[in-house]
Structure 1
Amino acid sequence: MFIFPIIIVLSLVLYVYYKVAILKSEDKLTQAYFNAKSRICLGSFVFFFGINQYIFYQTRISLFIGIVFLILGGMQLLRGMKEVKHYRSEYRRLYPK
């Protein structure tokens, strides 16, 4: 499975990018939006890391650890998506075109 390491590295790089973008931003709404985007990247990192570890080792303990990572990563993904949707609509409400 060649695709999972690429997704893992890409999500980790995007996570760091959004965390640095938070430091560069002055607006609190933009910071919250970038934090939600970084939460999505962290969730995808943990999610795909759990899948990759089970595929790589294929043992019972890696299955249990992978399931825990899948649950935690999925929770981060869902919360991040809800936050992004909320902050995007708030930004459009506060700053109409």
Structure 2
Amino acid sequence: MVVFPIIIIVSFFMYFYYKIMILRDRDPLQQEIKNAKARIALGVCISFFGINQYLFYQTRLALFITIVFLFFGVLQGTGGVKRWIHYKGEFEKRATSE
């Protein structure tokens, strides 16, 4: 299963990409949008890392660790999606009012 490590690596690099882009941006609203995207990428990375570890080891301990990783990954991902939708709407409101 080479797909899971590729997804993990791509999402890990996307997380760092968005975190670095936050530093380059001066607009606080765009910083929040990029931070939300970084949280989504982190959630995907954590979730797929947990799944990959379970598929690799397939033990009861790995299952419990996978459940914990999935829990935190889904929390990060859903929180990021909620923030992204909210701040994207705020950005569109600001763009139409100017």
| Same fold at TM > 0.5 | yes
- Please state whether the residue corresponding to 1:95 is helix, strand or coil: helix
Q: Deviations over 1:71-91 (max 9, x none)?
A: 100011100000000000000
CA shift for structure 1 position 62? 0.5
Q: Does 1:13 align with 2:41?
A: no
TM-score (norm 1): 0.98
Number of residue-to-residue matches in the alignment:
97
Identity %: 51
Take 1:26 and 1:72, find their aligned partners in 2: how far apart are those partners?
Answer: 30
Match of 1:48 in 2: 48
Q: Deviations over 1:14-56 (max 9, x none)?
A: 0000000000000000000000000000000000000000000
CA shift for structure 1 position 2? 1.1
- Provide structure 1 residue ranges, at least 5 long, that are not aligned to the other structure: none
TM-score (norm 2): 0.97
